[in-house]
Amino acid sequence: MKYGFFSDVHSNLEALKACVIDFRAEKIDKLYFLGDAVGYGPCPDECVKLIDDIAEVKLMGNHDYAALGLMETEYFNQYAAESMGWTKSSISEKTIELMSDFELTHKLDDILLVHSSPREPESWHYILDMEDAEENFSFFAEKICLVGHTHRPYIVYKDQISEAVLSKQTEEIARDDVRFLINIGSVGQPRDGDPRSCYLIYDSETGMLKLKRVQYDVKSTQEYMAKVGLPDYLIERLAAGR
């Protein structure tokens, strides 16, 4: 079975459509969404509908939570808060209905799916460094934990004795002697210096875990963001992947 895991679409329809084409090219059997369908970008309704159509499971992200009015945006930065204001005023009742069914966490065999971190998922903690990663291994028992939230992909693994190790590769085999904490990156808002979309492929037969990058039409998304009046800073950062 070939699984695809994607996250942090953030209303970027061009990026999502490019990934859907890649999902088909990679012959993905089942897709799982790890949260943040909306926020930042110009196409919340379209993205939520497409995610609902293609994903077996949909998780809640902090931006989705905010769009539903379940949390305030006080801790959001200025641009995130401004874009969330636009999002809340723009989304349809159908989009609200679909997002309301998103889950906070999900377990798939020996894989835990969560948007932010396995430590208090509803508190939206960030895993930003190896110290954070090491700590979070204590909060899940599964072989693999997949997260999004920071928009920066990485593969970290840990055995029963040693400290967690950051892989230098974008591919790893799910070996029996280690557990994995993997950030699957972002479809619509990459922030690791690479503007291409990112998602994770897991082949259960070979055990291969692979972070996959996908090119999309950044300029088209930027033009639409400008058309609806989203902040210049959010428009410009897409091209830099920051």
> Across the strands, what pairs with 166?
156
| Segments forming the whole domain that contains residue 80 | 2-111+184-240
Mean pLDDT, residues 111-132 taken together? 95
In a domain, 35, yes or no: yes
pLDDT of residue 135: 95
In a domain, 75, yes or no: yes
Cα–Cα distance, 67 to 101 (Å, whole number): 13
Least confident of 13-17, 76-80, 129-133, 176-180: 76-80
Q: What is the pLDDT of residues 161-170, one digit of tens each?
A: 889 999 998 9
CATH code: domain of residue 194: 3.60.21.10
**What's the pLDDT band for 174 if we cut at 50, 70, 90?**
confident
pLDDT of residue 75: 78
| Contacts of 165 by beta carbon, 8 Å cutoff, 6+ apart | 156, 157, 158
Residue 129, classed as helix, strand or coil, is coil
pLDDT of residue 175: 86
Of all residues in the chain, the percent with pLDDT exceeding 90 is 90
pLDDT of residue 144: 97
Q: What is the pLDDT of residues 184-227, one digit of tens each?
A: 999 999 999 999 999 999 999 999 999 999 999 999 999 999 99
Angstrom distances, CA of residue 183 to CA of 33, 129, 156, 202: 13, 12, 9, 13
In a domain, 134, yes or no: no
pLDDT of residue 77: 86
In a domain, 90, yes or no: yes
> What are the phi and psi torsion angles at 194 (to 5°)?
-120, 115
| Whole-prediction pTM | 0.95
Instruction: Decide: 77 and 105 in contact? Cβ < 8 Å.
Output: no
pLDDT of residue 98: 98
pLDDT of residue 158: 93
What mean pLDDT value characterizes the chain? 95
In a domain, 15, yes or no: yes
Q: What is the DSSP letter of 123?
A: G
Q: What is the pLDDT of residues 43-90, one digit of tens each?
A: 999 999 999 999 999 999 999 999 999 988 877 889 899 999 999 999
Longest dimension (CA), the chain: 54
* pLDDT at 237 exceeding the cut of 90: yes
In a domain, 153, yes or no: no
Of all residues in the chain, the percent with pLDDT exceeding 70 is 100
pLDDT of residue 176: 87
Q: What is the pLDDT of residues 23-32, one digit of tens each?
A: 999 999 999 9
* pLDDT at 8 exceeding the cut of 90: yes
Q: How many domains does the chain have?
A: 1
Residue 134, classed as helix, strand or coil, is helix
pLDDT of residue 76: 87
Instruction: Decide: 66 and 82 in contact? Cβ < 8 Å.
Output: no
**What's the pLDDT band for 36 if we cut at 50, 70, 90?**
very high
pLDDT of residue 180: 97
In a domain, 127, yes or no: no
In a domain, 210, yes or no: yes
The amino acid at 137? F
